[in-house]
Structure 1
Amino acid sequence: MLSIVPYEPIYAQKFKELNIAWISEYFIVEDKDKELLENCESSIIHKGGYIFIGLWDNEPVGCFALIKISEGNFELGKMAVHKLHHGHKIGQKLLTYAIDYAKSKNWKKIELYSNTKLDTALHIYKKFGFKEVQLEKSTIYLRSDIKMELTL
């Protein structure tokens, strides 16, 4: 059974490991990844963002961050699910939680950056109402070739 809990320092290493695992499987770990993952409290939480951890039988198996861009506008990032737990709809449950959390805070928008290689993720984002929008000329990640937004 999955439970989703707010970040605590005891989850810092697992947050980093979950993300490094999926990023390095498909892409290269970039400087911005390192900045966010190695110092997640100072780079995300202390800047007004949030991190949540998905626990399966009290074991961290998934995560995501809501990174503050501006008032009421957050980036959904650093979403990961351990490979051994794929197929349990954990990513969809994390995404539902993120959207519900944003709505409870009366945010205006959630945006995300992804890559068109990640068919399953893009399918899920579209299913949840995210729409493709214009990608900026320079993005913070080299791997980003698609930007999506969900207006709340």
Structure 2
Amino acid sequence: MSNVLTLHEFSDDLAVHFRDINAEWIHAMFRLEETDRDVLENPRARIIDPGGVILFVEASGLGIVGACALQKTGATSYELTKMGVRESARGMGAGEFLLSAIIDRASSLGAETLYLLTNAKSAAAIHLYEKLGFQHDAEIMARYGARYERCNVAMRYHTEALR
């Protein structure tokens, strides 16, 4: 079904979709934390300018339905963050399409560490992360988990897979 899905790079005119898509799922499951607001309102300053990436997925007939960011957190480390797909597009494969693209981008950027922070309530997302090669990681949890109050799951994509 990926023939109806198209990838887009970040541009300032797409920033509103980054904010709205992520605010939608965060509000539905949690509460927006200050760190969320900062990144969602300032994606160029917080993600793009420091060397990160934001990708969007468009579904034909529906417009932009998903977004995901790679936030640079070290010389060769990136956090996969703010990944969301609009409820109206769930079940179309947009999440897997987007996640696969963001993993490929991390590899092309030379990422040696690719990790994510989430919550056990996000069971469908965790299943997708596991399906594409992320594994639960206590070291990532200890190092980065305190960044979000809601974080109780940390995962790492194995670096051998990035090469």
Find the partner of 1:23 among 21, 26, 50.
26
Query: What is the alpha-carbon distance in structure 2 between the residues aligned to residue 25 and residue 62 of structure 1?
Result: 16
Indicate whether 1:106 and 2:113 are aligned.
no
Instruction: Work out the CA distance in 1 between the residues paired with 2:74 and 2:147.
Output: 16
1:120 aligns with 2:124: yes
Match of 1:11 among 14, 17, 20: 14
Match of 2:135 in 1: 131
Residue 83 of structure 2 corresponds to which residue in structure 1? 79
1: distance between equivalents of 2:11 and 2:43? 11
Structure with the larger helix share:
2
- Which residue is equivalent to 1:69? 73
Q: Distance in 2 between matches of 1:100 and 1:80?
A: 18
Equivalent pairs: percent with the same residue?
A: 32
Q: Which runs of 5+ in 2 are unaligned?
A: none
Q: Give the distance between the partners of 2:128 and 2:65, measured in 1 at CA.
A: 19
Return the offset for 1:105.
Answer: 2.4
Are 2:149 and 1:142 aligned? yes
Residue of structure 2 aligned with 1:2, choices 2, 5, 8:
5
**Structure 1 gaps, min length 5:** none
Code of the aligned partner of 1:48: G
Structure 1: how far apart are the matches of 2:64 and 2:127? Answer: 24
| Runs of 4+ residues deviating >6 angstroms | none
RMSD: 1.3
2:146 is paired with a residue of what secondary structure? coil
Partner residue, 1:50: 53
Q: Normalising by structure 1, report the TM-score.
A: 0.95
Deviation at 1:5, TM superposition (A): 1.1
Higher mean alpha-carbon deviation, 73-82 vs 137-146, is at 137-146
Q: Which of 34, 38, 41 is the equivalent residue of 1:38?
A: 41
Aligned length: 152
Alpha-carbon shift at residue 71 of structure 1 (Å): 1.4
| Structure 2 residue identity aligned to 1:26 | M
Deviation at 1:104, TM superposition (A): 2.0
